A and B are shown apart, each in its own frame.
Chain A
Amino acid sequence: MATDARTESRTIGPVALPSAERFRPLLGLVVPAALVVVWHLLVASGAISAYQLPTPLRVAKTLHGLAASGELWGHVAITVQRVVLGAGLGVAVGTVFGTATGLSRTASDLLDPLLQSLKNIPSLAWVPLFLLWFGIGETAKVLLIAVGAFFPVYLNLSTGIAAVDEELLEVAEVYDLGRVESLRRVVLPAALPSLLVGVRGGVGLAWMFVVAAELIAASQGVGFLLSDGRTLARPDIIVASILLFAFLGNCSDVAVKEVRDRVVGR
């Protein structure tokens, strides 16, 4: 009924003019576009020398070349694979631990102090240890990324579950839902928004950790491309790799945000 009223009010009144509001999202492109122009002018005018920063066009050509030769897709595919596996693992383990500590006071007292201090270890500090333990193969990289993705998920879900409205828990108790049912029907849905905030943060960190892993020990991947660009003194490759990370990271963030909006926004 409420929705009826809303749709009605929208159709009443004069026919809507093409609204400026529709183009509002495009405003976000204005500043980046201006920066690209400034970038081009600075390099073209010689204010910044081309061996330090190539022109935008040069970067685009390099990217196109890498794509045409097929080299690019291999790097992107392996990086995306690492992020997906690592973030998946981190989100899964973070969900398990977050649920446990959110529900059980004992689990929280046992685990939370440790996990809270582990989260403060910078990502790069793990790299040597993981290389030592798991070699330079995929395992080390995926696990490193999983560590990164784990913490935001764990922290958000744990707090989210602990913060579920006491009043709703009383409802579950009065109607004898039992532990499993009240978890399934009350606690987890109530904590879902927190979980999704955690997942968004976790996926963001997964991209940070994949760079750390690939910069140091990889023979393929966008991070490797980045460090290869430095070795070969090819600033165009470096900038192209950075832009690739920006693009891929944004895509995953938009995807997670979309999922969140669908599930929670309603």
Chain B
Amino acid sequence: MSSDADADVPPSAADADAASAEADPVLAVDGLRKRYDDTLALDGVDLAVADGEFVAVVGPSGCGKSTLLRVLSGLEAEFGGRVAVDGTDVRDGGSDVVGMVFQEPRLLDWADVRENVAVGLPADVDPDTEAARDRVDDLIETVGLGGFAESRPDELSGGMAQRVSLARGLAYDPSVLLLDEPFSALDRLTKADQQDHLLDVWEERGTTVVLVTHDVEEAVYLADRVVVLGGQPGTVESVVDVDIDRPRDRADADLVALRREVTEALGR
């Protein structure tokens, strides 16, 4: 786990993170091009994410945000450019250290919460051992679902199901955790709770996070850096550093100003 390494680098130190991103990024994307049949979805995307950094990628729908995550997670085998995690190309097993929380919870509806989280355990961990069981139960606790280990997905609310999906991603102990609009289907209040919850988990575990969202408020509130994707084919339009200490106030004047900056970068 990388939490030890992060103990002396507070996650809020965006400057330090940005500097180390250039030095030795956990996630490195250089000149990524992705084509679906006749449509070029992404063209010349560059991105570097440092260890422990929280990066949000925003953009209008259809700009290739989700495609970017699919490439990073190894679900797309064919693309141009270089995409590496921990220095290994995602096509050569680099994607093995990437976990993903999809837009929908995508749970096994016949299995209980425990089994669903255990799906995320790395291949070298035997899910039937006591240690693995403890790890899974810890994670269920971590995402605030203590007591629901034996519940089935249809007994959970949308927000709870999404947290199971988050626990599954954390069980994988990934170098980079990708989140594809995980809160977009939730109502406002639940969404705010889940965002704070994600921050808690991130600060506690020090996992590197790339969050894709179309919600500018969410991006600015959560991330160290906001990458604005736009155009067709999608490319990086601008990068906005969010240099505000956590815990942040959603109504903070600086935050609101940054929100406006990102919104303008989006061309809205």
Question: A109 CA to B239 CA in the complex, in Å?
Answer: 50
Contact of A174 among B74, B104, B151 (CB under 8 A): B74
With contacts A170-B75, A189-B111 taken as known, whether A175 is within 8 angstroms of B106 at the C-beta atoms is no
Decide: A168 and B108 in contact? CB cutoff 8 A: yes
B184-239 interface with A by 8 A CB criterion: none
Chain B 115-148, CB-CB to A under 8 Å as 1, else 0, gives: 1000110110000000000000000000000011
With contacts A167-B102, A167-B106, A266-B152 taken as known, whether A173 is within 8 angstroms of B119 at the C-beta atoms is no
Chain B CB within 8 A of A12 CB: no
Decide: A174 and B98 in contact? CB cutoff 8 A: yes
Decide: A174 and B73 in contact? CB cutoff 8 A: yes
With contacts A2-B155, A168-B106, A185-B108 taken as known, whether A176 is within 8 angstroms of B122 at the C-beta atoms is yes
Q: Which B residue sits closest to A165, measured CB to CB?
A: B106
Given the complex, which residues of A lie within 8 Å of B73, measured CB to CB?
A: 174
Decide: B75 and A176 in contact? CB cutoff 8 A: no
Chain A 1-34, CB-CB to B under 8 Å as 1, else 0, gives: 1110000000000000000000000000000000
Chain A CB within 8 A of B100 CB: yes
Q: Which B residue sits closest to A3, measured CB to CB?
A: B155
Contact of B96 among A176, A186, A190, A192 (CB under 8 A): A176
Question: A189 CA to B152 CA in the complex, in Å?
Answer: 14
Contact of A171 among B119, B148, B152, B155 (CB under 8 A): B119
Question: A264 CA to B98 CA in the complex, in Å?
Answer: 33
Question: A185 CA to B99 CA in the complex, in Å?
Answer: 18
Judged by DSSP, the binding face of B is: loop
Given the complex, which residues of A lie within 8 Å of B151, measured CB to CB?
A: 1-2
With contacts A178-B123, A189-B111, A266-B152 taken as known, whether A173 is within 8 angstroms of B75 at the C-beta atoms is yes
Interface size bracket, B side:
20 to 34
Decide: B74 and A173 in contact? CB cutoff 8 A: yes
Given the complex, which residues of A lie within 8 Å of B99, measured CB to CB?
A: 174-175
Question: A149 CA to B92 CA in the complex, in Å?
Answer: 45
Chain B CB within 8 A of A177 CB: yes
Question: A185 CA to B116 CA in the complex, in Å?
Answer: 10
Question: A175 CA to B95 CA in the complex, in Å?
Answer: 9
Question: A190 CA to B172 CA in the complex, in Å?
Answer: 22
Question: A176 CA to B98 CA in the complex, in Å?
Answer: 10
Chain A CB within 8 A of B36 CB: no
Decide: B110 and A171 in contact? CB cutoff 8 A: no
Question: A162 CA to B208 CA in the complex, in Å?
Answer: 36
Chain A CB within 8 A of B168 CB: yes
Decide: B110 and A192 in contact? CB cutoff 8 A: yes
The 4 closest A-B pairs by CB, nearest first: A174-B100, A2-B155, A171-B106, A167-B106
